[in-house]
């Protein structure tokens, strides 16, 4: 599983003119399931995201996880994180999990975050989405379960 995190002051996802998910301060998590990812992998990645200390404490240092900062997560499925650019100029996506498997792992990831007490807003799986965000910092972190 791959997750690209961006610390945001706000973010939202729109599908066909309607907002499907919106948060204030927190994390935008672009989530990509890879072939063979299991529910346990999604739960492990969610736990890592929840513990990542990238929010400012009273001294202004990146020292708080999303759970202690009281922030939310906007999770958006993003199969293009599996892009293969080794040959040619057109990315290949065969390294992404098939849609049924990917949707299940995305849902597992979101459920695991909620089980940890985090407020989670979402995009809409397999939809054309417009994602708007204000990157805070900027802070962008790449995570890979392998």
CATH number at residue 75: 3.50.80.10
pLDDT score recorded for residue 135 = 96
23: tokens are 């948060």
Phi–psi pair at 75, nearest 5 degrees: -100, 130
Length reported for the chain: 146
Q: For residue 3, give the nearest of 101, 141, 120 by alpha carbon.
A: 141
pLDDT score of 13 more than 90? yes
Flag whether 144 is in a domain: no
Non-local (6+) Cβ contacts of 2 within 8 A are 31, 32, 34, 81, 82, 142, 143, 144, 145
pLDDT above 90: residue 146: no
Do the domain assignments include residue 126? Answer: yes
Prediction pTM value: 0.95
> pLDDT at position 132, please?
98
| Cis status, amide bond into 128, omega within 30 of 0 | no
What ranges in the chain are assigned the alpha helix state H? 39-51, 66-69, 99-115
pLDDT tens for 66-114 read 999 999 999 999 999 999 999 889 999 999 999 999 999 999 999 999 9
Q: Is the pLDDT of residue 2 over 90?
A: yes
What is the span of the domain harbouring residue 8?
Answer: 2-136
Residue 95 included in any domain: yes
Instruction: Say if residues 34 and 97 touch (Cβ distance below 8 Å).
Output: yes
Residues labelled catalytic: 78-80
Instruction: Supply the pLDDT for residue 78.
Output: 95
Q: Following DSSP, what letter does each residue of 103-116 receive, concatenated? A: HHHHHHHHHHHHHT
Instruction: Judge whether 145 lies within some domain.
Output: no
146 in a structural domain = no
Is 49 part of a structural domain of the chain?
yes
In a domain, 66, yes or no: yes
Q: Coil, helix or strand for 3? A: strand
Total domains present in the chain: 1
Answer yes or no: is 143 within a domain: no
Interatomic CA distance for residues 80 and 135, integer angstroms: 20
């Amino acid at each position: 599983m791959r997750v690209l995190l961006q610390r945001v002051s706000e973010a939202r996802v729109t599908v066909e003119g309607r907002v499907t998910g919106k948060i204030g301060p927190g994390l935008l998590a672009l989530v990509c399931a890879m072939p063979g990812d299991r529910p346990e992998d999604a739960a492990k990645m969610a736990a890592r995201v929840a513990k990542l200390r990238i929010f400012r404490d009273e001294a202004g240092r990146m020292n708080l996880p999303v759970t202690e900062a009281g922030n939310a997560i906007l999770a958006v499925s993003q199969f293009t994180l599996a892009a293969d650019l080794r040959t040619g100029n057109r990315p290949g996506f065969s390294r992404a999990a098939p849609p049924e498997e990917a949707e299940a792992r995305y849902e597992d990831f979101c459920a695991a975050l909620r089980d940890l007490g985090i407020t989670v807003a979402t995009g809409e799986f397999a939809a054309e989405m417009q994602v708007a965000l204000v990157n805070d910092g900027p802070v962008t972190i790449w995570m890979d379960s392998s």
